[in-house]
Structure 1
Amino acid sequence: LGRDGEAEMLRVTAGVNTHRGAIWALGLLCAAAALESDATAERIAISAAALARLEDPAAPRNPDSHGARVCRRYGVLGAREQAQHGFPAVIEQGLPQLNASRRAGAGEQNARLDALLAIMSQLTDTCVLHRAGLEGLERMQQGARAVLAAGGAASLAGRRQLRALDHAMLALNASPGGAADLLAATLFLDRLAPAAPAPIGSN
């Protein structure tokens, strides 16, 4: 199903990888959630990690993908390893920040922005590395930390820092696509919680 989804994505986008990482992450988490009904986000992530570590002889080998080249060049871990380690960016950054921002009174849109920024602040995003190298990755991480330190997306100071980060990333022609994929995973796991504070599809 995941490979069919990826093929359809590439067909629609004329070969541009817009969300391969999200297909990978959400596919694993959907399967894990089915196996771990009524489980915590942590338990589902652990189950997804076990699935991600299974040998897959039919998996396509593409050693020259952007992500693979970046991992080799910089010695970093990519989307596959993030999954195999139980999605630490989701469990340790995304979900805690999402809930902390909600408790602080941020609206749902700003809480989700803060969750994205928390992931960006720590993630070795191979999309950014591919486009902008280590300089771009450092700018992304430092900029995301600056937004959160200033009060997050709901605060005036945080919005100013966010605008500055947006301009910097545009100037580098770099987009944190890996972090965006993991935000999708964060929101998916959040919606599996027994008492989600906002309806599915809310802004």
Structure 2
Amino acid sequence: MSVSTLIHAPLPLAHWLADAAVDALIDEADLSPKPALVDRRGTGAHHDLHLGLMHASALALWPCFKEMAEAALALGEVGLPLREALGRIGREGERAMLATTGGVNTHRGAIWALGLLVAARALGEPGEDASAVAARAGRIALIDDRFAPRQPDSHGLQVQRRYGARGAREQAQSGFPAVLGHGLPQLRASRSRGAGEQNARLDALLAIMATLDDTCVLWRAGPQGLHAMQQGARAILDAGGSASLAGRRRLRELDASLLALNASPGARRLAGGLPVPR
């Protein structure tokens, strides 16, 4: 076999999916300027995170995503064996993440969301659209993992009890409605207007932020913070999006508002799994 053949040989599907998942996490971290989030400008509302740490964490998760895809390919169907395999692999991935970051939670939510999507895509057919992959991911997420540790006092569950907000788990179980109903349509609309890829992706994130009952923001800043996030994101889009001068000014205002409230949007976890087909 020639060197040229080796270089151009197609990657196994599990490797390709792991590459795509890690690329998504790195692209999400690099996307700037994100309101109150780690990006190329700084650490946002976080004191224990920085861009280099986000990159290192994403790269450390490559084996996790590859093994999730391989498990889906080996088992071949949605069911309890696959759900529990994904849970086990995800917990191993979380340990690898924490070892890399010195105990800082950089991507726990992304392991859940992207892991489901990687497995769902591995089970699908070439050329499937995002809604089919998301629906299959939702079916996987609805299955109870008997071995998952129970965390009755987690921040997400406390917020759900206090405010009735749906968290990342429910978003996944419903087939990622915030992504399909708001993020992807806005991404396509901004692209069609010639906003440029970075601005289109920012607009997609903002469209999710404008509608999501974000449990991370509710935990940090309560209903006041959630209202500031949703209304601020909507104001940017109404002003013309992040590619417009008026939208950029609104974006700076939202950034300052959320930083003052110490509110860091968890919507990035969903946007990190956003498919970006051309």
Distance 1:81 1:116 in 2: 19
| 1:66 to partner: Cα distance | 1.2
Partner of 1:158: 247
Confirm or deny that 1:53 pairs with 2:142: yes
Matches within 5 A, 1:112-127: 112-127=201-216
Partner of 2:124: 36
Write the letter of the residue equivalent to 1:125.
D
Distance 1:82 1:145 in 2: 20
TM-score, normalising length: structure 2: 0.66
SS at match of 2:134: helix
Partner of 1:175: 264
Distance 1:147 1:19 in 2: 27
Aligned partner of 1:13 among 90, 101, 108: 101
**C-alpha distance after superposition, 1:76-119 (max 9, x if no partner):** 11111000000001100111101100000011110000000000
Write the letter of the residue equivalent to 2:168.
A
Identity of aligned pairs, percent? 65
SS at match of 1:111: helix
| 1:7 to partner: Cα distance | 1.8
TM-score, normalising length: structure 1: 0.90
Distance 1:168 1:10 in 2: 30
Write the letter of the residue equivalent to 2:229.
M
**Which structure has the larger Rg?**
2
Partner of 2:195: 106
Partner of 2:218: 129
Distance 1:183 1:108 in 2: 14
Partner of 2:180: 91
Distance 2:114 2:212 in 1: 18
In structure 1, stretches of 5+ residues that fail to align are: 191-195, 198-203
Distance 1:174 1:18 in 2: 16
SS at match of 1:44: helix
Partner of 1:22: 110
| 1:73 to partner: Cα distance | 1.3
Partner of 1:81: 170
Write the letter of the residue equivalent to 1:126.
T
Q: Is the Cα contact below 8 Å between 2:217 and 2:225 reproduced in 1? A: yes
Write the letter of the residue equivalent to 1:16.
V
